[in-house]
Structure 1
Amino acid sequence: MKLFPKIVAVCCSSLVLTSCMEVLDKTDLGSTSGALIFNDSTLTQMNLDFVYDQNLPTGIATLGPGSPNSPSVTTLSDESFGESKLLEGSLLVNEVGDFGTALSATNNYGKIRVINMFLSDVNAGTLPQYTKNKLRAQAQFFRAWRYFDLVRLYGGVPLVLTPLAAVGVEARDKAFLPRNSTTETFAAIVKDLDSTIASVPGRWNSSDWGRITKGTAAALKGRVLLTAASPQFNPGDAVAKWQTAYDANKQAVDLLTANGYGLHASFDQLWFQEVNNPEAVFVTGFNTATGDQARKNNGYDNATRPSYTGTSGGSNQPSWEMVKAFPMLDGKKPGESTKYAYSDQLFYKNRDPRFNKTIAYNGVNWPLNGNTSYKLWTYFAGGKTVEPKATNTGFYTRKAVNPTPAIGDVQFSGTDWIEIRFAEVLLNLAESAVGINKLDEAYTQLIAIRKRAGIEAGTDGLYGLKANMTRAELFSAILDERQIEFAFEGKRFWDLRRWKLIEKTLNGTRRTGVTINLKTTGVPADFATTRDNINLDLAYTNYFTLEFKPLDTKYAINWKPEYYFFAIPQSAIDNNPKLIQNTTWGGAFDPLK
């Protein structure tokens, strides 16, 4: 996979590129003009690669720089657990701070400034117009990506679409921009994405795999407009917003399909195919390269697996609520299936095949570190864990964890991160289709996802879906499907938030973990040495007990309604007198307009 090297401004680092060296041989870098840089296709491409490097998502998102402890979004839903002021209900006005309250190259506005400078400089250069358009379009995608992050946090924000002067009183006063409306912010995002769709290829050559395509931009546009149509931004359920979202997601599916994208044949192996992976719509490439390119590692794998099988680890531990959410093999919910009985004691039996490909549990065969016969044991014996370090929830996430590397090598994982999968585009289309009462089309997409997962078709061919669901039931079914399909991909929190379902799902509860205890009587004396060969059902039935425990020990969850639009940090308002606070935080700015 192509690595986008980290290049700052005109610096070519150690890359030996002829056109670059011609410039460096003849030019004082301290006074190099933008015109010289952006008249050269190689230098311009290097600057664009820096934009990629700054903005590509690198794994499960945190809420944002400046947020209280920048929590991973997996800890803000029913997927996992973790203390947070958001879930405690004690969030203060300054505590979701990715608004640009300080000079920083790493917050959203710092990154937008770099993008705007690139767009301006490319436009002023002498490259052919077709080349300019293609280069600018990729940068516009990332500007849309940054503004989408801002609008879903705060509602409308100041739209800065050209570089602002950096110094002087006059420049400071011109930088005091008011907030654009939420509608205007969404419109600016869509405009940038439409420009991207018009000017980039539908598919790049293999050497440029991972660059933004027409389908990538269309898929992000679909995600953006689906968010705008959801109850967070559309409490009146305006059908026009659902129609706009449907049109965008239909365009995305059509563009991607026409260019060879689609569902990967394997739900679990899709993470380990890189170049030309049909499911990877918006992807960040990682590698283990050395030589002329720097090694660029994906930290998710090492952080997610058990710590004793890597060099860190144990993050993204599934809660019992997440474990219980998976359907049975026939697609019915646990307790609702008439074909497969469910019990908590044998929670792993006859589940949706995605269960064993997502959840690692006590006694499961989990190939790791090159050992294809490795079995994970997480039980307690005599009150002590048999693990070197116990999992807090009783479970681990196994999705996208590479089974091949040896223990000392897992921190150098080159597995790509897929931010938007083709499966998401299908479910975005399904949800927006329900919004405009095209219920049959929603069924079509849901069935495609469940069929790929390996759920049984059933005599009605509905893969466990209830026949003739109402609009409300289909919306709920799609959210349930997203919870399973995208578990630990950083989607669940945003889904609950845009549907304003966090209170209903979490408030008043404490997420749950499981301690699996080995009984003190009736267990074979040699169990510790023979357990890998024992029948797991026999072991769970006769030798183990399950003890359920609250993971949230300090408080019951208390998400507050005003968190659906976070406060503009007071420090930002102090810096810019034209900013107005959201109505939900005592100001006059309505984030729904």
Structure 2
Amino acid sequence: MKLSYKILAIFCASLALTSCKDVLDKTDLTSTSGVLIYNDSTLTQMNLDYVYDQNLPTGIPTLGPGSPSVTSLTDESFGESKLLEGTLLVNEVGDFGTSLDVKNNYGKIRVINMFLSDTKAGNLPPYTKNKLRAQAQFFRAWRYFDLVRLYGGVPLVMTPLAAVGVEARDQAFLPRNSTTETFAAIVKDLDSTIASVPGRWSSSADWGRITKGAAAALKGRVLLTAASPQFNPNDEVSRWQTSYDANKQAFDVLTASGYGLHSSFDQLWFQEVNNPEAVFVTGYNTATGDQTRKNNGYDNATRPSYTGTGGGSNQPSWEMVKAFPMLDGKKPGESTKYAYTDQLFFKNRDPRFDKTIAYNGVTWPLNGSNSYKLWTYFVGGKTVEPKATNTGFYTRKAVNPTPAIGDVQFSGTDWIEIRFAEVLLNLAESAVGINKLDEAYTQLKAIRKRAGLEAGTDGLYGLKANMTRAELFSAILYERQIEFAFEGKRFYDLRRWKLIEKTLNGTRRTAVTINLKTTGVPADFANTRDNVSLEQAYTNYFTLEFKPLDTKYSINWKPEYYFFAIPQTAIDNNPKLIQNSTWGGAFDPLK
């Protein structure tokens, strides 16, 4: 309980709240009962806010402290990793947690369980108590979902464990629950959240708090994962039905509460309160003069490094660049209306292309300039950038064009973990699972219509007519690749579909170097280039050179990585833990 009291003391000292004084006046904090704290709604809310701060997603996820961004583990981007090299060792995916640390999953679960226990024991009105507890239950479900999709079933700790003494240690030696039991516990927590929180919060000050729709949407994501081949190798239709029911519930709850697709694919990131697409969101702000400012690290890390303090990360690979459809919705090389060439890769593409990929010569409103042009080409083997992009490209999605150079590290752009577009595609995929193919078409068309693709004479926005179940599954995964590029979804989509080997193994992701020709280029090109059309520049003045990004090895993802090993250090700490069967143990993560 000490953690809660430390938080409380900080709040009281800094805010001088009357309620703090009411509760704690003349009270010895070293012996104060948790119940006393949780009899006060203000103090309880403060402790819940700490739960939010610990557990809200902060951007593209990693596989634990020090691990690479999951975008670098796919064909989206590039990054060296033992996962892709095929040399992962048993202790190297450490999200399981091997010590009591508030930064790992079980440390965060402990704080949540303490909050739930003490709030339950307090004497707040039942409605208030249930609403506060329901939000914490959402985050407990969020933490267990993170664990189950990495490892399979894990020990379900649903109450605070004692922390001191031999007896407490022995009681903490819990065996792993089955994967089925773990999913059931997640769903139970989310159902409690759905029952007790509003569809929308009435005050704008509550923007970002968990809503009924956010809990339903996470439940839909969880059960879609449980229905996917990683957990459902026998394609049991009952699992797809359960997933469909959950995602239909999410769709219905959200639409009833006024959620839907934002009118703009790119601007949806820059509307905060009342953003119809922001279902589960981490709020950031640019407040000054107090301790409440919270900066979005994604923006600053993603924009080119020479534009202030940018980091230039999340650089698209050529494979990601080439994946986008043409303007009629057909894949490059399949469209009969729009011819595709690598030399003019940017021409007549899906409108989401220019809103996601920043490339040499593109007009990219940035640093407060609506006419800013990005140039990444090389002259005589030297880049015209102060620091060259490794792949030839940058990501522009969710990068705020407004801040001036030097201010971008203070971006207040919210991170949207679950968008309404995901709810539609989760529903579409689940519908395919139970052979409701027409419903899948409906959701896919809605996504493509918002993107700005041409409807075509058949009104299918480039989709093939009369697709089979297998073809529709593939079409939905392809749509997710484009719609959610650089949102941290691709790795988990490929993983739950067990498609990483098929997609990546034996390949080397590709970079593009754009070189200025040595002849036929105007001498003043560096001064006049902004006035030259892109098509003219690429046709007459540039050559494209393709190079492998993976220079040390060809990608070699191994099948046992679909369920990572429980770290041996965790097993050494708890003799009741059993290793996964794919790593030499007896635990079956499919049961």
Same fold by TM-score greater than 0.5: yes
Residue type at the aligned position of 2:22: E
Q: Are 1:341 and 2:343 matched, yes or no?
A: no
Is the 8 Å Cα contact of residues 509 and 550 (structure 2) preserved in structure 1?
yes
Pairing of 1:40-119 with structure 2 (within 5 A): 40-65=40-65, 69-119=66-116
Distance apart, 1:6 and its partner CA: 13
Residue type at the aligned position of 1:305: R
- Aligned mates of 2:35, 2:416 — CA distance in 1: 36
- Aligned mates of 1:465, 1:24 — CA distance in 2: 64
Aligned residue in 2 for 1:452: 450
Q: Are 1:438 and 2:462 matched, yes or no?
A: no
Distance apart, 1:209 and its partner CA: 1.0
Residue type at the aligned position of 1:183: T
Aligned residue in 2 for 1:32: 32
Q: Deviations over 1:203-252 (max 9, x none)?
A: 10222111000000000000000000000000000000000000000000
Q: Deviations over 1:133-178 (max 9, x none)?
A: 1111000000000000000000000000000000100000000000
- Counterpart of 1:126 (choices 119, 123, 127) is 123
Aligned residue in 2 for 1:360: 358
- Aligned mates of 2:73, 2:179 — CA distance in 1: 24
Residue type at the aligned position of 2:331: K
Q: Deviations over 1:504-558 (max 9, x none)?
A: 0000000000000000000011100000001110110011000000001100000
Further displaced range: 118-127 or 309-318: 309-318
Aligned residue in 2 for 1:8: 7
Is the 8 Å Cα contact of residues 310 and 408 (structure 2) preserved in structure 1?
no
- Aligned mates of 2:575, 2:372 — CA distance in 1: 60
Aligned residue in 1 for 2:282: 284
Distance apart, 1:24 and its partner CA: 4.3
- Counterpart of 2:253 (choices 252, 255, 266) is 255
Is the 8 Å Cα contact of residues 266 and 397 (structure 2) preserved in structure 1?
yes
Is the 8 Å Cα contact of residues 256 and 262 (structure 1) preserved in structure 2?
yes
Is the 8 Å Cα contact of residues 5 and 29 (structure 2) preserved in structure 1?
no
Distance apart, 1:291 and its partner CA: 3.9
Distance apart, 1:350 and its partner CA: 0.3
Residue type at the aligned position of 1:563: Y
- Aligned mates of 2:26, 2:362 — CA distance in 1: 63
Is the 8 Å Cα contact of residues 88 and 557 (structure 1) preserved in structure 2?
yes
- Counterpart of 1:166 (choices 153, 163, 168) is 163
Is the 8 Å Cα contact of residues 35 and 122 (structure 2) preserved in structure 1?
yes
- Counterpart of 1:464 (choices 462, 465, 469) is 462
- Aligned mates of 1:6, 1:35 — CA distance in 2: 12
- Aligned mates of 2:86, 2:9 — CA distance in 1: 47
- Aligned mates of 1:532, 1:15 — CA distance in 2: 53
Residue type at the aligned position of 1:219: A
Pairing of 1:374-393 with structure 2 (within 5 A): 374-393=372-391
Q: Deviations over 1:245-303 (max 9, x none)?
A: 00000000000000000000000000000011100000000001124552100011110
Aligned residue in 2 for 1:351: 349
Residue type at the aligned position of 1:324: K
- Structure 2: which 5+ runs fail to align? none
Give the direction of change, closer, same or farther, for the CA distance of 1:144–1:10 in structure 2 (3 Å limit).
Answer: farther
Distance apart, 1:14 and its partner CA: 1.0
Distance apart, 1:98 and its partner CA: 1.5
Paired residues, number: 586
Q: Does the residue aligned with 2:362 lie in a helix, a strand or coil? A: coil
Q: Does the residue aligned with 2:96 lie in a helix, a strand or coil? A: coil
- Structure 1: which 5+ runs fail to align? none
- Aligned mates of 1:47, 1:181 — CA distance in 2: 31
Residue type at the aligned position of 2:432: V
- Counterpart of 1:542 (choices 540, 543, 565) is 540
Distance apart, 1:120 and its partner CA: 0.3
Q: Does the residue aligned with 2:10 lie in a helix, a strand or coil? A: coil
Aligned residue in 2 for 1:179: 176
Q: Does the residue aligned with 2:14 lie in a helix, a strand or coil? A: coil
Aligned residue in 1 for 2:578: 580
Is the 8 Å Cα contact of residues 514 and 548 (structure 1) preserved in structure 2?
yes
Pairing of 1:303-322 with structure 2 (within 5 A): 303-322=301-320
Q: Does the residue aligned with 1:548 lie in a helix, a strand or coil? A: strand
- Aligned mates of 1:85, 1:44 — CA distance in 2: 43
Q: Deviations over 1:429-464 (max 9, x none)?
A: 000000000000000000000000000000000000
Aligned residue in 2 for 1:522: 520
Distance apart, 1:368 and its partner CA: 0.7
Give the direction of change, closer, same or farther, for the CA distance of 1:10–1:435 in structure 2 (3 Å limit).
Answer: farther
When the two structures are superposed, what TM-score results if normalisation uses the length of structure 2? 0.98
Q: Does the residue aligned with 1:8 lie in a helix, a strand or coil? A: helix
Q: Are 1:488 and 2:491 matched, yes or no?
A: no
- Aligned mates of 1:9, 1:119 — CA distance in 2: 16
Residue type at the aligned position of 2:245: D
Distance apart, 1:411 and its partner CA: 0.2
Residue type at the aligned position of 1:49: D
Aligned residue in 1 for 2:551: 553
Q: Deviations over 1:72-128 (max 9, x none)?
A: 000000000000000000000011111121121100000000000000000000001
Aligned residue in 1 for 2:500: 502
- Aligned mates of 2:124, 2:565 — CA distance in 1: 43
- Aligned mates of 1:426, 1:20 — CA distance in 2: 45
Is the 8 Å Cα contact of residues 280 and 418 (structure 1) preserved in structure 2?
yes
When the two structures are superposed, what TM-score results if normalisation uses the length of structure 1? 0.98
Is the 8 Å Cα contact of residues 144 and 192 (structure 1) preserved in structure 2?
yes
Q: Deviations over 1:49-78 (max 9, x none)?
A: 00000000010001123xxx4110000000
Distance apart, 1:7 and its partner CA: 8.1
Q: Deviations over 1:28-51 (max 9, x none)?
A: 333332121000010000000000
Give the direction of change, closer, same or farther, for the CA distance of 1:145–1:7 in structure 2 (3 Å limit).
Answer: farther
Is the 8 Å Cα contact of residues 134 and 200 (structure 1) preserved in structure 2?
yes
Aligned residue in 1 for 2:368: 370
Is the 8 Å Cα contact of residues 6 and 49 (structure 1) preserved in structure 2?
no
Is the 8 Å Cα contact of residues 6 and 53 (structure 1) preserved in structure 2?
no
Residue type at the aligned position of 1:11: I
Residue type at the aligned position of 1:314: G
Is the 8 Å Cα contact of residues 7 and 49 (structure 1) preserved in structure 2?
no
- Aligned mates of 1:10, 1:499 — CA distance in 2: 48
Q: Does the residue aligned with 2:281 lie in a helix, a strand or coil? A: strand
Q: Deviations over 1:392-449 (max 9, x none)?
A: 0000000000001011100000000000000000000000000000000000000000
- Aligned mates of 1:26, 1:468 — CA distance in 2: 74
Q: Does the residue aligned with 1:547 lie in a helix, a strand or coil? A: strand
Is the 8 Å Cα contact of residues 262 and 279 (structure 1) preserved in structure 2?
yes
- Aligned mates of 2:571, 2:498 — CA distance in 1: 27
- Aligned mates of 1:8, 1:548 — CA distance in 2: 54
Q: Percent identity?
A: 89
- Aligned mates of 1:46, 1:6 — CA distance in 2: 11
Q: Does the residue aligned with 1:308 lie in a helix, a strand or coil? A: coil
- Aligned mates of 2:408, 2:268 — CA distance in 1: 19
Residue type at the aligned position of 1:301: D
